[in-house]
Structure 1
Amino acid sequence: MKQIIAGDIGGTHCRLALAQVDACSVTLRQQIDYPAQNFPDFETALGQFIQEHAAGETIEAACFAIAGPIRSQRATLTNLPWTLDSQQLQQRFGISQVHLINDFAANGYSLTVLGERDYYEIQAGESLSGNRVILGAGTGLGMALLADVQGKIQVRASEGGHMDFAPVDEEQDELLHFMHQELVRVSYEHVLSGPGLLRIYRYVASRQQVDTGMVSKATDPAAAISRRALSGEDPLAAHALELFFRLYGSCAANLALIGLATGGVYLAGGMAARLVKPLGQSGFVAAFNNKPPMSELLQNMPVKVITNPHAGLLGAAWYAGNR
C-alpha cells in the first residue's frame, strides 16, 4: 500500500489526512480539520500537519482537492486567498508527486471506495449503469461530471456552479430581482451555498418587512437559519429553507440532464449531509423531476446524498495512490 497525504481545501476548512491506499481501498490514519482562516497560506498549514502528524513517515505522493479551477497544476481558491503550486509543494516538502484536483472531482473519485452505508437515498430511480453527476452546496457550489468508460469512473471537473441562475416560477423571478439589487450577475452559487441561504432568507423576510439583523450577524448564518427553520420557531426561516431545497432540486436536475446521469445523481458537501432528512422530505424531488418533457427520464435517475464526511479526502487519497 502507498503512504499518501490527502487534502480537501475549501473556503472554510482545510482538511488533511495521512492515508494508506491501494487500487480498491483507502484507509485514513490521521485526520485533521484546520480552520482555514487560521493560516496565511496553505504551505503553513501543510507544514504544521507534517510536523505534528507525519514526521518520519515516508510519503510517496500527495493530492490536494481544491475549491476552484486548476491550471497547469496551479490553483487559486475561489473563496479563500490561497494559491497552491504543485511543483513548489514538491520542492518544499520533498514529496515526489503532488497532484492538485478540483474538490468535486475528488468527491467523484470517492465513489470508487464508498459503500452503500455512505449514502442516503432520496430517489430510488433505476439501478442502471451510465454517466453520473455530483454537486454540492457549502461555502460555494461545486459540480463534476462522471463518465462511465468500460465500467470505470472518469471524472471531469466543472465550474458549473457559476452558471446563470434560472428561475422557474414567479417567486424565484422575484428572488432574482431582489438579488440583482446587490449583484450584477446572479449565478447558482449565489443562491445554493451558505451565503445563498442567507440571501434567500433576507428575500423572504423583505416580503414581510422583517428585520434580519440578528440572523445576519450570527457566526454561521446558514446554520442559524436551518436551526430556526427546523425548530419551528421561525416560519420565515422554514420558508427560506424550503425554497432553498426546491432550487437545489431544480439545479441538480439541470446538471443531471447535461450529464445524462442515468447512473445516478450524488449530492455532496456539508449542507446536504447535515440536512439530509429534511432535504428528503422537502420539495427537492418534485422540483428535480419537474422538467417536462424530460420528467420521466429524471424520475428514473437514482438520487443519493453522500453522508460520509471524509469523501473529499478519500477521493483525493485514492487519486494520488492510483496515479
Structure 2
Amino acid sequence: MMILAGDIGGTRSRLALFVAGEPAARFEQTLPSRDYAGFAAMLSSFLELAGRHDHGRIEVAAFGIAGPVQGEGDAARVQATNLPWTLEAATIGQALGGARVRLINDLIAVGLGALASPLDRRVNLNPEATPATGHAAVIAPGTGLGEALFFHDGDRHHPMPSEGGHCDFGPNDEREAALLSYLRGRFGGHVSYERILSGDGFSSLYAFARHAELGRPTPGADGQLSAASDPNALVTQWANRGEDECAVIACRLFARILGAEAGNLALKSLPTGGVFIAGAIVGHIMPFVREQALEAFLDKGRFATMLGRLPLWVVADGNLGLAGARRLAEQEMDSTRVER
C-alpha cells in the first residue's frame, strides 16, 4: 500500500510517499508553505510532481500540523496556527481519490517519531535507568513548547495531547527567581515555560543574563543581533564557541530548566516507557543538555530515586514530524487491513 505522510510547517512543508515495509521514501519534496494559497494547492502541486514517477494509488495519508485538531477520523479538521489554512480530512481524502486521511497536531507527530526512533539515533542522559515498555512522555522545544503523553495499551502508544507548555514557570533557585521577576516585567505578567523553552527563549535568557550582569557579552553583540536573520541561533552559536559569557549562561539556563520541566512532566505521568526530549533545537545545545538536564530532572527531593529509574532520552532530529506522520499512517493501514 502506498502511504502519503506530511509535516506541515509555517515556513516549509515536507511531503513524502512511502511503501509499507520500505525504509526510504519513494518520493519526497520540501515545499515553501507560504507560496500556496492553501493546503489543497500545495497537495495538488506535490501530486503533479509525484505523478511523473507513477507511484500508484495512495491508500492512506497522515499529516502533522501546528494547531488544535477538532473532530476525529474523516470528520477531523485543523485551523493551522501559523498559516491561513484549514485542513479537512474528508476533503483531502476526496482529493486523494478516496484515501483514508488522518490529521494530528505536529507535537503528536514529533512524539510518535521519537517513540519509533532507533536506539542509535537517541542519546540516553540517564544511564542508570531501567528501560521498560509503558506510558511515555514527550517534551519538545520548538517555535513553542510542546508536551504530550502517550498511553500504552500493551501493544501500541496512543497520544494524549496537552497544553502543558503554558503552565506557570516555577524557579528552583535564586537566579531562576530573578529570571521569573525579569520575565514578568518583560511580558507583562504570566510567565509560562514556553516563554523560556522555545526558540525565542534564547533571546529572552540572553537579555536576562546581560540585564543581571551575569557575564560579559561578545564585543559588538547588539549590532550582530540586530543584523542577524535569527538572533536565537546566533546566541547558541556564541555559546557553543564560548565566545560570549552571557550566551553560555543563557544556554545553561535553558538546558537546566528543560531538564526540570521534563522531571515535572514525569512526576505527573509516571512514564515507565521513558521521557523523550525531542526536536532539532536540543541538538544545537547538546553539550549544555548533557551537562545540565539530568541533574535538574532528578532534583525532585524524595522522588529523585523514583525518577532515577526512568529513561531520559534526547532525540535531536528535525525529521521526527514526518516520521511520526508516517507511523500514524502505517497504524491506520494496519487498522484498514483488520477491518477488511
Tell me how far apart the structure 2 counterparts of residues 293 and 197 of structure 1 sit (CA, whole Å): 31
Partner residue of 1:87? 90
Deviation at 1:128, TM superposition (A): 2.4
Q: Size of the alignment, in residue pairs? A: 319
Q: What are the superposed Cα offsets for residues 137-179 of structure 1, whole Å, 9 maximum, x if unpaired?
A: 1111112211221242222222222222222222222222222
Matched, 1:187 2:187: no
Q: Indicate the SS of the match to 1:286.
A: helix
Q: Indicate the SS of the match to 2:99.
A: coil
User: Stretches of 4+ moved more than 4 A in 1?
Assistant: none
Tell me how far apart the structure 2 counterparts of residues 132 and 86 of structure 1 sit (CA, whole Å): 27
**Residue pair 1:21, 1:317 contacting (<8 A) in 2 also:** no
Partner residue of 1:61? 60
Tell me how far apart the structure 2 counterparts of residues 158 and 141 of structure 1 sit (CA, whole Å): 11
Partner residue of 1:145? 149
1:311 to 315, 320, 325: 320
Partner residue of 1:116? 119
Partner residue of 2:336? none
Tell me how far apart the structure 1 counterparts of residues 296 and 67 of structure 2 sit (CA, whole Å): 28
Deviation at 1:302, TM superposition (A): 0.9
Q: Indicate the SS of the match to 1:181.
A: helix
**Residue pair 2:67, 2:79 contacting (<8 A) in 1 also:** yes
Q: What letter matches 1:142 in structure 2?
A: G
Q: What letter matches 1:204 in structure 2?
A: A
Tell me how far apart the structure 1 counterparts of residues 263 and 284 of structure 2 sit (CA, whole Å): 21
Q: What are the superposed Cα offsets for residues 226-259 of structure 1, whole Å, 9 maximum, x if unpaired?
A: 1011111111111111111111111111111111
Tell me how far apart the structure 2 counterparts of residues 126 and 216 of structure 1 sit (CA, whole Å): 47
Matched, 1:161 2:165: yes
Tell me how far apart the structure 2 counterparts of residues 8 and 239 of structure 1 sit (CA, whole Å): 33
Partner residue of 1:206? 211
Partner residue of 2:329? 320
Partner residue of 1:48? 45
Matched, 1:16 2:15: yes
**Residue pair 1:8, 1:66 contacting (<8 A) in 2 also:** yes
Q: CA RMSD in A?
A: 2.3
1:177 to 147, 170, 181: 181
Q: What letter matches 1:6 in structure 2?
A: A
Greater Cα shift, 249-258 or 101-110: 101-110
1:279 to 268, 283, 289: 289
Tell me how far apart the structure 1 counterparts of residues 325 and 63 of structure 2 sit (CA, whole Å): 6
Residues 1:276 and 1:48: Cα distance change in structure 2 (over 3 Å): farther
**Residue pair 1:68, 1:76 contacting (<8 A) in 2 also:** yes
Q: Indicate the SS of the match to 1:126.
A: coil
Greater Cα shift, 207-216 or 174-183: 207-216
Partner residue of 1:70? 69
2:138 to 134, 151, 154: 134
Q: What are the superposed Cα offsets for residues 283-309 of structure 1, whole Å, 9 maximum, x if unpaired?
A: 111111111121111111111111443
- TM-score normalised to structure 2 length: 0.85
Q: Indicate the SS of the match to 2:81.
A: coil
- TM-score normalised to structure 1 length: 0.90
Tell me how far apart the structure 2 counterparts of residues 121 and 17 of structure 1 sit (CA, whole Å): 29
- Flag structure 1 segments of 5+ consecutive residues without an equivalent: none
Q: What letter matches 2:327 in structure 1?
A: W
Tell me how far apart the structure 1 counterparts of residues 276 and 289 of structure 2 sit (CA, whole Å): 13
Q: What letter matches 1:117 in structure 2?
A: D
Partner residue of 1:222? 232
Partner residue of 1:97? 100
